Structure 1
Amino acid sequence: MEAALKRITTHTLTVFILVLLAFPALAGTRDDCITKCKEAAEFIKSRGIDTAIKEIGNKNGRFVWYEGVSYVFLMNMKAKMLAHPHKPELTQAESLYETTDVNGKQLFKDMIETAKKGKGWTKYVWPVPGMGINKPKYTFIYRVSGTDYFIGAGFYVMAPGEYY
């Protein structure tokens, strides 16, 4: 009887672990992304754009979380990247409007269209910080009311068994 109970327990535990691994791993959550975007928008309003650019561009700052994999970035409606904690080189371009992901999607054009609505989600493929691989990413876009700015924050979709 004891051996049978041990086998059942072991089997149940194995099934439970396999079920957990079957779901894609996500960096952060949808709610985290929405919350961080709103916090960054309030930060811009209370502290000013120059201070916000420095903080949002800081890879060790308050708008980077989940071991650096999830983060906020800041752009304007002309597709100018104003702050990005992992890819500061993106701030050098006057416009990223025509930039495409590895699948040819004009991701920043899509972000601007979403920002025109005030807020919403976009999906594209983007490099995972520190991993050197591209993965699907869902990004929440949040327009800073009364300004030409919008905030983005997203999470990556990882295959079963992939970890950050």
Structure 2
Amino acid sequence: MIVFDQVTKVYEPDVVALRDVSFHIDKGEFVFIVGASGSGKSTLVRLLLKELDPSGGKIVIGGRDLSRLKKSKVPMLRRNIGCVFQDFKLLPNRTAAENVAYALKVQGEGNAAIRKKVPEVLAMVGLAHKMSSAPDELSGGEQQRVSIARAFVNHPPLLVCDEP
């Protein structure tokens, strides 16, 4: 469950990205947030990931009030959120398979599980034949699909996509 309660984000000097945003998303819901460029969609994603703190209001994810979440606990929060970023954030010196495997390694998965899951998820996004390709050898759409595979490989309870 995700709750935004009267969330405001103001960047200095006085640039309002979000003003009094409130919504409630239940487990299992599939939600699209659409808007013009500069309307605050990426700011909303960064607030969900606790990359930013709101200027006002309250954000709750899975019953946890993010304003009370200690900085040391933020990595644990993020491990439960699969993310697809606008710029994909692929590791340039790693293959498609290694980029996907990285998400599993961070979670402490063993090598046997990684060898099984990585090809499966790359096949799901139609990239089984590109496992050994570096990001600069992939088209933009293929890079995006590697990013989606990496976000999904751990089956996170929350999947957030910024401009998927």
TM over 0.5: no
Relative to the length of structure 1, the TM-score reads 0.29
When Rg is computed on C-alpha atoms for both structures, the one with the higher figure is 1
